[in-house]
Structure formats: C-alpha cells, structure tokens
Amino acid sequence: MDAVRRWFLENDLLLNSDKSEAVEIGTAAQLKSVTAMRTVTVAGTLLPLSHELKSLSVTVDGHLRFDSHVGAVAKACTFHTRALCHVRHMLSTELAIAIGCSIVASRLDYCNSLLYGAPSMSLNRLQRSQDMLARVVMQSSSRTSARPLLQRYTGCQSESASTTKSPLWRSRLVGCPRRHT
C-alpha cells in the first residue's frame, strides 16, 4: 500500500473517501471468510467495502458475474427500444437502423469483452434486448424470430452455431457498420 500512496503523492492526487469505495473479489467461500471486514485502507484513506461498485458505467460485483451490469444494460436497451417503437412508423428503415445502432447497439457493445465467460443466462438477457430491437427496427411482430432478421442483414450466427460464449458476435445489429481495426 505504500507504493499506492507514493504514486498518489508523486502525481498530486488525493483519494476522495466520499466518492470512493472498494469491493472484495473472490469465490463464495473466500468472501464468506472475510465478511467481518467493513472497510479497507488504501493510500492512507479508509474506504467502505461494498458488494458491488460502478466504474466507467460497468457494475462489478464480488463474484465477477456482472449480473447487475447486465440487468442495467438490458433495462436501458429496453427503455430506448420501446421509445423507438413509438416513432418507428414515421422513420425509414435506414434511419431506424441508424438510430437503433447508435442508441441501443452501442450500449450492448460497450465493454462487452468483460462478459467473456459470463453465464449464458446473463448473455441471453442481452440477446433478448438485441432481438427486441431487431423486431422493432424491421417492424416485425413480437412472435417473429429475430435471428433471421439479424442473419439477413449482418450474417450473425445463431447461439447454437457459436462455439464461444463471447458476446462479441451478438453486438452486430441489423445493418450496423462493422468497425475495421
């Protein structure tokens, strides 16, 4: 901890204990063994321990399952997709695709590499958000399978064809331009 304190001092930084918190990360057994701890000292500042913390719009929990993060992303995507649904009939398909990509798909895409290896239940929540958006953008009924809509415009593979749990393939939405890196 002296190295952290030294780094803070060398860079003219001060840890704001009112805006900072810490989380313990470990297995369920490891976390049960240290439940008596309520605070931790970092760079000479006493920080409260919490069950989860939010940094750069990503909620991190002690088990690194990202359930809270996935829930928040799915909730935001549903909100914006429903808003798009109200005005969809006034938009061209190209404009609806652009709005869907910029508002909803960007939320699905942000920090999705953190979800590699996440439980499929969490990834399925995000997939349902993407499917709902595809149906709204393409003006299909809620009973229509979204996978053909996604495959038709982007060549996305279905979950059964995917050999990895990575959600990266899921972030490609109907007509979204692919990034060339």
The domain locations on the chain are 2-50, 60-171
* Chain segment 77-110, per-residue pLDDT in tens: 999 999 999 999 999 888 888 888 888 878 888 8
What is the three-class DSSP state of 54? Answer: strand
Strands 22-23 and 45-50: parallel
Eight-class DSSP state of 26: S
Please give the average per-residue pLDDT across 49-59, as a whole number: 82
Percentage of the residues of the chain whose pLDDT score is greater than 70? 78
CA–CA separation, 37 and 158 (whole Å) = 45
